[in-house]
Amino acid sequence: MTADTITAADIRINARWLIPMEPANVVLDHQAVLVQGERIAAVVSQEEADARFRARETIDLHDHVILPGLINMHGHAAMSLFRGMADDLPLMAWLNDHIWPAEGAFVSETFVADGTQLAMAEMLRTGTTTFSDMYFFPEIVAQLARDAGMRAQVCFPLLDFPTPWGSGPDEYLSKGEEFIRQWQDDPFIMPAIGPHAPYTVSDGPLKKAAALSQSTGAAIQIHLHETASEVADAVEKTGLRPTARMAELGVLGPATQCVHMTEVDDSDIQLLQASGARVIHCPESNLKLASGLSPVQKFLEAGITVAIGTDGAASNNDLDLFGELGTAAMLAKVVAADASALSAHEALAMATIKGAQVLGRGHELGSLEAGKLADIIAVDLSDPFLQPVYDAASHLVYSNHGRQVTHSWINGVPQVQEGKLTRIDVPDLMLRVQGWADRIREQQSS
Ligand SMILES: CSC[C@H]1O[C@@H](n2cnc3c(O)ncnc32)[C@H](O)[C@@H]1O
Ligand SMILES: [Zn+2]
C-alpha cells in the first residue's frame, strides 16, 4: 500500500458493532464508517480503514452499535405540547372532547413552532433523523426542520371543516399546492398531502388530493382503518369499507401511506397489494387508544411495505422509536400467534430501509452503504441493563431505550454528540414549553 492510495475523509467512526441494514440480518464487528461531506465514503473493517483512509476527525465508539438514522413515518410533532393532557380515552372521545377543542384554542404559528421543536429535540435525542409530520402550518414545520438540519416529510392537512390553517378543502388544497411547489426540490424536506381520514374528508377533496399527487409526485398520507367503528360506520354510510372507497376514488397507489390499518380483511389486503400502497404501523397509539390490532405479519407475507411511526405524543405518549420497535415486535407475535413473527432485524428494517423506501428514497437513505447519505446513529450498549451482548440487534429492539443514543449525524453533520443536542437550544426551548404548559393548564382548569 503506498501513500497515494490513501483517501481523505472528513469523519471516521469506529464502532464495536455495526448494523448496515443492507445486506439484511447482519451485525458486523469492529467496523469503521468513513464520511466525506454529506455521504458515506466507505463501510470497512477497522484494519482496512487504517490502511486506506486518513480522516480529519476520528470518533471511537468502543461500546456502541451504529446503524442508519431512524425514520419515524407518522406523527403530529407539535402535539408534543399536549403530551399527557388527555389519557385513557378511545379515539373519538379523545379527538372530539379533548384534542380538537384544545387545538381550536391553542394552535397558532408559534404553538406549532414550539411544539415541533420540542418533538424534534426528543426525536433527535432518541435516534430519529427523518420524521413525517401531518399538522397545521406545515410551512413552519418544514422551515424548522430545515433550520435544524433534520429530514422531514411534511404533509399539509386536508379536512372538510375549517381549522386554524384554513377555511375548508379549497383553501387547504390551494395553500397545499403552493407548499408542494415551494419545497419539492429540497434535499431535506419532502412535501406531501395529508387528508386526515375517510370520515373527515369527502369524495371531492379526496379525488383532488389524488390528482395533486399525480401531477406533483407528492405522497399522500391518511389515517385509515384506525378503529373497528370507523370501518363499520363507513360500511353503513357508503356501503364500502374505507380501503375500498379510497381505491374507488383513485387515492390508493404506491405514493399512498395508509396509517394504522387495523380491522383489516382479505379484500383490504388485496387492494393494498394490487395498488402498491404502503402501510404505516403505529402500535403504541393503537394500543393506548384501544384502536385495534394491525396484522403486520400478513402485510409482510403479502409483500406490502410496512414502515413504523409513533403518532403524536398525545396518544403514545413519547416519540422514542426504539420503544415503538419493541412494542411492534412483541405485538406482532401475539397478533400472528407466532413467536417468530417480526424478528428484531425485521423491526429495525421498518424503522430504517422500509421507511426510506416508502419515502421513495431507498437509494440514498435507510442503510449504511458507500454512496448513501450520512444519516447515522450510535447507541451505547455498555449500561448494565444492556449487558451482556450476544446480539446487538436483539438489544436494540427488546432491551434498549432511545435515550441510550449518544451520537447522530444527518447529512454528515453532527446532531447529537455525547448525548447532547448540538443545534437546538434546549434551555430556551424549555422556557417556551413551560409557557405553553401554564396556558394550557389554566384553560383546562377554568
Ligand atoms: C390534519 S392535521 C392532524 C389532525 O389529526 C389529529 N390526530 C392526531 N392523532 C390522530 C389519530 O390517531 N387519529 C386521527 N386523528 C389524529 C390531530 O389532532 C389533528 O387534528
Ligand atoms: Zn396520527
Q: Which CATH number characterizes residue 92's domain? A: 3.20.20.140
Is 266 known to sit in a ligand binding site? no
Q: Tell me the CA–centroid distance for residue 200 and ligand 2, in Å.
A: 13
Is 441 a domain residue?
A: no
Q: Which domain holds residue 392?
A: 3-68+371-411
pLDDT of residue 13: 98
Confidence of residue 398 (pLDDT cuts 50, 70, 90): very high
Asked if pLDDT for residue 192 goes beyond 80, the answer is yes
**Ligand 1 atom closest to 196 (CA):** 1
CATH number of the domain where residue 49 is located:
2.30.40.10
Is 363 annotated to bind ligand? no
Residue 445's pLDDT band (cuts 50, 70, 90): confident
How sure is the predictor about 4, in pLDDT bands with cuts at 50, 70 and 90?
low
Residues 138-147 pLDDT 10s = 999 999 999 9
Residue 76 marked ligand-binding = yes
Ligand nearest to the CA of 176: 1
How many angstroms does the Cα of residue 67 sit away from the middle of ligand 2? 26
According to the model, what pLDDT value does residue 107 have?
Answer: 98
Residue 389 lies in a domain: yes
Residues 167 and 29 in one domain: no
What are 147's three cell numbers? 433550520
Same domain, yes or no: 43 and 110? no
Whether 351 and 377 map to the same domain: the answer is no
- Would 174 be classed as within a structural domain? yes
Does the pTM surpass 0.95? The reply is yes
Residues 290, 182 share a domain = yes
Residue 416 lies in a domain: no
Q: What is the mean pLDDT of the chain?
A: 97
Asked if residue 84 belongs to a domain, the reply is: yes
Pocket-testing residue among 81, 96, 99, ligand 1, by greatest number of atoms within 8 A of Cβ: 99
The tens digit of pLDDT for each residue in 241-296 reads 999 999 999 999 999 999 999 999 999 999 999 999 999 999 999 999 999 999 99
Predicted confidence (pLDDT) per residue in 40-63, tens digit:
999 999 999 999 999 999 999 999
Whether this model's ipTM surpasses 0.90 comes out as yes
Same domain (yes/no): 188, 271: yes
Answer yes or no: is pLDDT of 1 > 50.
no
Average pLDDT over residues 344-351: 98
Ligand 1: residues with CB < 6 A are 76, 91, 95, 99, 103, 134-135, 157, 159, 194, 196-197, 223, 226, 285, 311-312, 315
340 and 194 within one domain: yes
Q: How far is the CA of 323 from the centre of ligand 1 (A)?
A: 21
**Residue 171 CA to ligand 1 centre (angstroms):** 19
> Are both 102 and 35 inside the same structural domain?
no
Q: Structural domain tally of the chain?
A: 2
Q: From atom 14 of ligand 1, which residue's Cα is the shortest distance away?
A: 223
Percent of the chain exceeding pLDDT 70 equals 99
Residue 2 reports pLDDT greater than 60: no
> Has 10 been labeled as part of a binding site?
no
Co-location of 27 and 174 in the same domain = no
Starting from the CA of residue 85, give the closest ligand.
1
Tens-digit pLDDT profile for residues 135-191: 999 999 999 999 999 999 999 999 999 999 999 999 999 999 999 999 999 999 999
Annotated binding residue 30: no
Report if residue 352 sits inside a domain.
Answer: yes
Domain shared by 166 and 18, yes or no = no
Q: Are residues 64 and 80 both part of a single domain?
A: no
The pLDDT value given to residue 44 = 98
Instruction: Judge if 152 and 13 occupy the same domain.
Output: no
Asked whether residue 17 falls in the same domain as residue 106, the answer is no
Whether 365 is in a domain gets the answer no
Whether the per-residue pLDDT at 341 is higher than 50: the answer is yes
Nearest atom in ligand 1 to the alpha carbon of residue 260 is 12
Please give the order of strands across the beta sheet that includes 256-260: 70-72, 128-134, 151-158, 189-195, 220-224, 256-260, 278-281, 306-308
Going by DSSP bridges, is the β-strand pair 28-36/39-45 parallel, antiparallel, or unpaired? antiparallel
Note whether residue 420 is domain-resident: no
